[in-house]
Amino acid sequence: MVEVFTESALLFVAVVFAFCLVIGSFLNVVIHRLPIMMERDWREQCEEMLKAPPVRELPEGRFDLITPRSCCPSCGAGIAAWQNIPVLSYLLLGGKCAKCKESISARYPFVELMTGILAATCAWRFGVSWEALMAIILTLALVPIALIDAETQLIPDAIVLPLLWVGLGMSLFAPMAGADTLFIAPQDAIVGAMAGYLSLWSVYHLFKLITGKEGMGYGDFKLLAALGAWLGWQQLHLIILMSAVVGAIVGIAIMVFNKHDRSVPIPFGPYLAAAGWITMLWGDAIQKAYLDKFL
């Protein structure tokens, strides 16, 4: 199979795209359920310590990424297997529930399609290699991190901490690294994780000291630490610069056009995730182009 994919890059990209469309369907479950699972866990801890009354109703009984089965958020009707076909089932159903005919959020096919496209891009960029596999794994982690943070302003430790450790573990295979690879030296990964965390931690505390307000969350520190472990400390400045510039532009646009209250926080995780993904694929090329033009 590897030989077939090696001989036909287009076939490899197509298979990765199709497979990751299915993974994208599962990521929709992660994006929806993981914040609820986190809140249930926090509530149990709070009730145990403070006997605090619940603020809102949460699902009772077993609730995780497997159970209960997926259902319509409006009428609760179970979703059949054919209705779970990525993107295609949404189109066949006309974007509506088969039973109650209520509209289904376009976010579901969007996540599936975006996951497939991003993973296929990784396959095209790195070809049939371990680098492609690791790039796809990082992509499949960044998608739910970005969207969960965008919706809830939370970055789940259940995703970002394993991502950090996998990045550090990858550095053990640095001897197999070539000129164009994700496998960096252990010292670069360790320093990258430390520098990634401490850089935003320092900005956070400096901003809080000056303004008395919290400018970002600890999840952002952990995410940048994970990206530093994967990509090395040498790429951190590019990730921070791209995420800050795009975040500032989008934030200003939201405040101007949507009359977004300045006191309402804007999540930074999606911009970090996007900048990290771009840097993973083209970081060296971007830096070389910048140096050639300005230095």
66-113 pLDDT, tens per residue?
787 888 877 878 887 777 888 888 888 888 888 888 888 889 999 999
Where exactly are the structural domains of the chain? 1-128, 129-295
Q: Which of 111, 138, 113, 134 is nearest to 30 (CA)?
A: 111
Q: Is 78 helix (H, G, I), strand (E, B) or coil?
A: strand
209 has pLDDT over 50: yes
Mean pLDDT value across residues 31-60: 77
What share of the chain in percent tops pLDDT 90?
50
pTM beyond 0.75 = yes
Residue 71, beta-bridge partner list: 78
State residue 3's pLDDT score: 78
Helices 157-170/130-152 angle, 10° precision:
160
When pLDDT is cut at 50, 70 and 90, the band that residue 178 belongs to is very low
DSSP code at position 105: P
* pLDDT (tens digit per residue) in 255-292: 677 665 666 678 899 999 999 999 999 998 888 887 77
State residue 61's pLDDT score: 73
Q: How far apart are CA 279 and CA 141, in angstroms?
A: 15
* pLDDT (tens digit per residue) in 100-141: 888 888 899 999 999 999 999 999 999 999 899 999 999 999
